[in-house]
Amino acid sequence: MMEVDVATPSKTLQVVAQALTGISIETRFVKGSSGFLKGVRIVGGALHIAPDCAVSDVLHESGHLACIPGRYRRRANDDLDDIGREMLDDIDRLGIEPDSALYRAIIQCSDSEATAWAWAFGRHLGLAPEVIIEDQQYPDDDGKGTGAEVRRALSVGRYIGVHGLAHAGFCSTNRFGRLPVYPNLAFWTQEN
């Protein structure tokens, strides 16, 4: 039996990290990194990834960074509560209008949008659905993973985060919109 060196990221994890860097989400492999999700931590708008981190967790956390408007991304850290409050405070402080692209971007960067973004990016990279979202993820009230159900909903565009991405300008939810239909996205990072 071959032993795996956990100091060396899997080929898939390396491909994902390289692709994220290619869309301006900075990634670094940092042994022992851990944050809100085991093995990955958001630090100053960058992902610090443990070499043995689950690809699904990296995709999800990168989804958060991708959905945060560019002007705030570098200030994003850990569980994102502080940057979330700052963005919401700015809506009032700066008088950001509800019809503006920035308002929609701020409102549409929650966990469900991160999940929908992760699915779209993972499919774009050609990853297997079970790698993008693992079965044991998204536990219900009894602690049972609902990952398979989340994958099914995303695969047919019937997950709430898909609508959030559409409202934030990433995509359309049907062929009648002017933007690509989910899971295809018009852009990978929110730059408002």
- Residue-wise pLDDT for 33-75, tens only, equals 989 999 999 999 999 999 999 999 999 999 999 999 999 999 9
Count how many domains the chain has.
1
DSSP 2: P
- Residue-wise pLDDT for 135-144, tens only, equals 999 999 999 9
pTM equals 0.94
- Residue-wise pLDDT for 19-30, tens only, equals 999 999 999 999
Token pair 């995709």 is at which residue?
A: 59
Structural domain containing residue 152: 11-167
- Residue-wise pLDDT for 138-165, tens only, equals 999 999 999 999 999 999 999 999 999 9
Instruction: Please report whether residue 146 resides in a domain.
Output: yes
Instruction: Please report whether residue 1 resides in a domain.
Output: no
Instruction: Please report whether residue 175 resides in a domain.
Output: no
Instruction: Please report whether residue 100 resides in a domain.
Output: yes
Portion of the chain with pLDDT greater than 90, in percent: 93
Helices (H), the chain: 11-22, 55-67, 70-73, 81-93, 101-107, 111-124, 129-132, 147-155, 160-167
Predicted confidence band of residue 3 (pLDDT cuts 50, 70, 90): very low
